[in-house]
Chains A and B, each alone.
Chain A
């Protein structure tokens, strides 16, 4: 064995040590710089630990006295999320296809993508405040805010799924002389449907969370209640509302997991 004369090639040198060190140093510098701006005071957590404990104690036991109001507002919140998501899905299907590079030419997908970027870049809270001016206080403003923001997100996720499809079945449909729309309906959508359903259900869950926040600016639902009781220092009530939100979101998570399993 030993007489096999093989010239052993030198092992490849590990990636640049100096380069990596500079990278870490830069990261530390950026973190230090942001420390000042973010007003980081970790010691306060310990110095005022007595206050913190008292503050936490105020939350317990939770006060469910007004649970009927909380429940009905929670249901309104879910209803806002439901409509916001459904409208967004309906819009995101065509817009997602129109922002896919493998389906439409650049002069179509580039402008559509930029509009979707704008919808996504602006938080639903901001949209909610704008829509309150347009349609008045209440849940409808929340629906509109979620609709616009979620359309931007889903269109992007949908188009990413479309860009990852297998092109061969689409060519099979094309070979029959089908129209471009038929190529999408028969060749593309069946391939991406499981992913699209997953994304939509996931966005519904996130929208229930978001809907409870947009309420804080006056767009209806449990957020309005939450805002009022926090401002009124009613921490036991706040705790009750928070528990209800957690339970609702968990329930929706369980149900959507079940639906996802059944549909795919």
Chain B
């Protein structure tokens, strides 16, 4: 199986003497759905932002490779990082849509890398491209709001629009940074279901950071737990018992176990519409 992501000895220091990432090594195969687990401040966001090439690791420390191409090495971004980013969809905790643009334009930005510059400058998209955008909006179930400004939608709807953007982008790796932390339980479940279906039916690799163990258990086979910037666990969620979590995190463990759980899994989800 091809390797979607390979991180070697990545470290990052924001304030001297305090490592945000500490010698992280990680390998994710294509088609996997992995949960990055950790209490707040454990380095989840930092790690994801390094994978997308928004931030560079410390000089002389390790490398990040996505789909066999370097994103960064020795604390320097690859020259072709923008070309590589087209393969990586990013879903943010705060959605990061452009509030004053309609949903369609927000989603269409996902395919800017396939649109010639002379058209993208004038926001001129072909009928096929608009159709592709509508299909993606339908796949995540918000096509009826297509013409509305993003800022008029609820958090859950905005987050699904952000996922639709990664669909038209045809990303092979989706990084979701706490995608449900700002959502209510029902909206959170819809977002997680959508990500799981994209993984299952399109074979897209998904790495999603969370701080709730029970949600991690429900949605994936592999959990990578971070603590103080180090990978402290990598395996099935089943073995990640409360006792083990207490061993790893101490008092912080309650944040991972106690709260924020969407209601128990309901009826089986409909297939991803095509």
Using a CB–CB cutoff of 8 Å, the interface residues on chain A facing chain B are: 168-169, 171-179, 181-182, 185-187, 190-191, 193
Contact = CB atoms under 8 A, between A and B. Distances in A.
A174 B98 contact: no
A172 B97 contact: yes
B105 A186 contact: yes
B52 to A, nearest CB: 6
A172 B98 CA distance: 8
A172 B92 contact: yes
Interface of A is mostly: helix
Interface residues of B, number: 33
B113 interface: yes
A177 B100 contact: no
Contacts, number: 83
Interface of B: 52, 54, 82-90, 92, 94-101, 105, 109-113, 117, 120-121, 123, 162, 165, 169
Contacts of B97: 169, 172
A177 B66 CA distance: 14
A169 B96 CA distance: 4
Contacts of A174: 54, 85
B96 A186 contact: no
Contact of A186 (B52, B88, B98): B98
B123 A173 contact: no
Contact of B109 (A173, A181, A191): A173
B54 A171 contact: yes
11 contacts: A168-B92, A173-B112, A176-B110, A176-B112, A177-B87, A179-B117, A181-B121, A185-B123, A186-B109, A187-B98, A191-B98
B37 to A, nearest CB: 22
B89 A186 contact: no
A178 B117 CA distance: 10
A190 B82 contact: no
A182 B123 CA distance: 10
Contact of A175 (B85, B94, B99): B85
A172 B85 contact: no
Nearest to B169: A176
Contact of B92 (A171, A179, A193): A171
Contacts of B123: 185-186
Contacts of B165: 172, 176
Contacts of A185: 120-121, 123
A175 B100 contact: no
Nearest to A264: B100
Contact of B96 (A171, A177, A191): A171
Contact of B98 (A179, A181, A190): A190
A169 B162 CA distance: 11
A103 to B, nearest CB: 16
Contacts of A181: 117, 121
A175 B98 contact: no
B132 to A, nearest CB: 14
Given A175-B85, A178-B112, 5 more contacts: A169-B96, A169-B97, A174-B85, A186-B105, A186-B123
Contacts of A187: 98
